[in-house]
Structure 1
Amino acid sequence: MNVVFLLWHSHEIGDRVTDDKLIGVYSSEAEAGAAKARKLKYEGFRDEPDGFLIDKYELDRDYWSEGYITKTASRQ
């Protein structure tokens, strides 16, 4: 089984609105953790240290198997 580890960062920027960033794709969880440690040195990331998430994904596998609904932001 071939896997990769995605490092994400997310934080809330408004009423139920988040700013989500894919930081990178890594060959191991340890590499993703090292990338997280590097990012914690930067303003923004260090202010939101709980916003990091490491996800494990198998290669050559569908992760979204159905249709989709598009959400649009309402403007006032």
Structure 2
Amino acid sequence: MKVYVLWHVHHVAVDEAGNVPHFEDGEFSAREDLGDDVKLLGVYSTPGRVEQRIRAARKLPGFRDEPDCFWSAEVEVDEDAWASGYVTE
């Protein structure tokens, strides 16, 4: 079974030129280590429900300040996302 996870990012991180990057190399950018605020809005059964939630959230304080900073992903239920572990430095 697939579900659709939806996040919103309030960007504050700046790059070397002083710009707030919303995308890096064509990919959505979120730099929590530099202050970007990532919020999980919910998990939905269809892409249509994701779009409904985005439309509703864009009317709310905070979300309407960054109306294009929603990001969703299709996720398979009961499928591991980190199967190989990780190392910190």
Following the alignment from structure 1 to structure 2, what is the Cα–Cα distance between the partners of residues 69 and 43?
38
The answer for the alignment partner of 2:35 in structure 1 is 17
The answer for the alignment partner of 1:6 in structure 2 is 5
> What do the CA deviations read for 1:29-70 (whole angstroms, capped 9, x no partner)?
000110111100111101101210111001111111122345
Following the alignment from structure 1 to structure 2, what is the Cα–Cα distance between the partners of residues 64 and 41?
35
* Mapping of residues 1-76 of structure 1, within 5 Å: 2-14=1-13, 16-69=34-87
Following the alignment from structure 2 to structure 1, what is the Cα–Cα distance between the partners of residues 57 and 7?
11
More moved, 45-54 vs 12-21: 12-21
Change (3 A) 1:69 1:42: farther
Change (3 A) 1:47 1:3: same
Following the alignment from structure 1 to structure 2, what is the Cα–Cα distance between the partners of residues 55 and 5?
6
Gapped regions of structure 2 (runs ≥ 5): 15-33
TM-score (norm 1): 0.80
- The number of aligned residues is 70
Identity of aligned residues (%): 40
Task: Determine which structure has greater relative contact order: mean sequence separation of CA pairs < 8 Å that are 6+ residues apart, divided by chain length.
Answer: 2
TM-score (norm 2): 0.69
Q: Which amino acid aligns with 2:41?
A: I
Q: Provide the alpha-carbon RMSD of the alignment.
A: 1.7
